[in-house]
Amino acid sequence: MKHKILFIFYTIIILSIVGSCSSNPYKVSDKSYKEQLKGYKETISNTEPAKLETSVATILPAAQLPIDPLVLYKDTLSIKAPKALLNGISTEWISSVNFNLRKPNFIILHHTAQDSLAQTLRTFTITKPQVSAHYVIADDGKVVQMVNDYLRAWHGGNSIWGKNTDINSSSIGIELDNNGFEPFSDKQIISLLALLTKLKKDYNIPIQNIIGHSDIAPSRKTDPSRLFPWKLLALNGFGIWPDEILEPAPVNFNAEQALRIIGYNTKNLSSAIAAFKLHYIQTEVDSVLDEKTINTIYNIFSHSLKMN
């Protein structure tokens, strides 16, 4: 009798274990997934303001202004549960324990082509335009964050850089409040330098991957304008700038191939040349492939090869 009772007892234990495993055999990975997700949620939903600051080594615009370059912003995100499909097929969630957050690898700079911060914020907060950016920097230096760094904002549109045909999925978009015809303010550039300092440190973004909208969409866009201080950014370690004295390009140098290796889409070569000159020459924004342009392409091409 005693053996029979023990047999029944152990049978019940075994059946209970089998039953629990069959109902949720992934209970352990589910728990690990939830714990890991909780940690990431805390990372991307930080409600404490983050401080942007320039370093003592930052090279500021020529006009030194008595302003505080520190800017505060908040970074928030709401996580929602997945929805079931409506096609009659049953769905199942099995938690993997192998994942992490996406890391942006590019920073794309824009000007808003609008006349005020308020106008840009309205554009980015209504559905119809289908456009957004991670950050907007006002003329007075104020920084507004509109999309979490880990999420995909809609700022690049149909764009290409090298073999990357979906720039929005791997980049952070920064819009500068500027209509495209006026200089960028010193306050604005100081805040941009502070923001770039933080983003570069947070995500280890290569300096050659800090580029303009016109670089990734040469046939469609001309922002930021020729008035944008790319040289100042490069002096601070954000982007590349040609040497003061240009080494002549070799006789057999292929400028179109070099532009492609740098990252430009040369399907429309004239547009690619104009976009390159908008960024790196600025005083001559046209599609003429003259000696100065060829030597500048060779210079940037050489710098790019050294960094890759």
User: DSSP label at 164?
Assistant: B
Helix 291-307 vs helix 269-280: crossing angle, to nearest 10: 80
The radius of gyration of the chain's CA atoms, rounded to the nearest angstrom, is 26
| Alpha carbon distance 59, 235 (integer Å) | 7
Which parts of the chain are beta strand (E)?
50-52, 71-73, 106-111, 135-137, 143-145, 171-176, 210-212
Q: Which residues of 192-201 are buried (b: 16+ CB within 10 A; e: fewer)?
A: bbbbbbebbe
191: its two tokens: 């805040």
Q: Are 119 and 217 in contact (CB under 8 A)?
A: no
Q: Are 131 and 156 in contact (CB under 8 A)?
A: no
Q: Which residue has the tokens 């409040």?
A: 177
DSSP calls for 178-236: --SSSPPPHHHHHHHHHHHHHHHHHH---GGGEEEHHHH-TTT---S-TTS-HHHHHHT
| Alpha carbon distance 87, 55 (integer Å) | 55
| Alpha carbon distance 83, 167 (integer Å) | 27
Residues involved in catalysis: 175
